[in-house]
Homo-oligomer: A and B are copies of this chain.
């Protein structure tokens, strides 16, 4: 059986975990947490980052840092993981769901402006499949209305936005950005996440919120002579064993990205060579790089997708659909304002993700494409 995902191990994870244990500091903010922070900040040029126990937690930190309160409105795509919304709902926000683009699951940048009201406090863009949201339009809207822009970059590690001959890393646009290191991601630590703080004014408070609302970080730097409870917050910091695992992945990021992009391109070639009119291939706009996070197909309808999933499973490969649109979820449907979001529903019904992980071989990819070919011959 070819699994949908297989968490990649670079080889030094256990060595670094063992070293963290030997150092005698395996709670949060130890040696490997600091090494990860430094490497990430240097590698991608972020102002500041803080590892978290999950991307959900990073998004919660963003919602707290932006002082999101009951009654505030937050705009985000409906076709996203539940955590994008959940983090803001926990602060009491009303979520205003936007539609996806017709050609890509990311937020339709031209649909956002009409959703803004006096109560809009934040816009969250989600770089689905590591493919950039159209940031020129989004930044323009955020600036004109003075609304905080947050990037949910859960899938977007090492992906870039291209504009006027320049490339700029995703996660560097938002006031705050959240990344995931869940085992399904390119770079992973089982569970894990990271908040990127691009607005220097928020950096000090971010540390406090990360450390259970205490000024512990300042205390250990000798900036205050005792520490105590100064703000809200939570225990957002991961164990240093998690950071040690992550560090082993981060030092291999180039190799991982090269390999995944190769695999992604191989799928693309195989499907292009076949040129099946009943299958639509993933679209990567000219303004985005591709980080090889996910290869998906768009099929004709939910029924054919379900039958293809079953056919592949019966023949040794696991392919999976993705999100149910959040505006149609049992938790939020009565809170949604009733707008129909046809593109979100379209991606929910027709999108199928194929196996894509470091150890996947070209031969396995060819087998999967052959199976899909056989399926369409018969169906």
Residues of chain A touching chain B, judged by Cβ–Cβ distance below 8 Å, are 3, 6-7, 9, 13-14, 17-18, 21, 24-28, 53-57, 60, 70, 82-83, 85-87, 89-90, 182-184, 189-192, 212-214, 226, 228-235, 237-242, 245, 324, 326, 329-332
Smallest Cβ-Cβ distance to A193: which chain B residue: B235
Rounded to whole angstroms, the CA-CA distance of A192 and B26 in the bound complex is 11
Q: CB distance B21 to A213 under 8 Å?
A: no
Given pairs A85-B229, A86-B234, A191-B239, 5 additional interface contacts (CB within 8 A): A17-B17, A27-B183, A53-B53, A53-B54, A242-B242
Q: CB distance A230 to B330 under 8 Å?
A: yes
Could you say which residues of chain B place their CB within 8 Å of the CB of A329? 228-230
Could you say which residues of chain B place their CB within 8 Å of the CB of A237? 191
Could you say which residues of chain B place their CB within 8 Å of the CB of A326? 229
User: How many copies of this chain does one complex carry?
Assistant: 2
Which of A82, A235, A330 counts the most B-chain CB atoms under 10 A from its CB? A235
11 interchain pairs, CB-CB under 8 A: A9-B21, A14-B21, A26-B189, A27-B190, A28-B190, A56-B235, A86-B213, A89-B232, A190-B241, A191-B235, A228-B324
Could you say which residues of chain B place their CB within 8 Å of the CB of A190? 26-28, 239-242
Rounded to whole angstroms, the CA-CA distance of A57 and B53 in the bound complex is 11
Nearest 8 Cβ contacts at the A-B interface = A190-B239, A26-B190, A56-B235, A229-B329, A54-B235, A191-B239, A53-B53, A229-B331
Smallest Cβ-Cβ distance to A234: which chain B residue: B56
Q: CB distance B229 to A183 under 8 Å?
A: no
Interchain CB contact (< 8 A) of A235 among B83, B229, B241: B83
Smallest Cβ-Cβ distance to A5: which chain B residue: B24
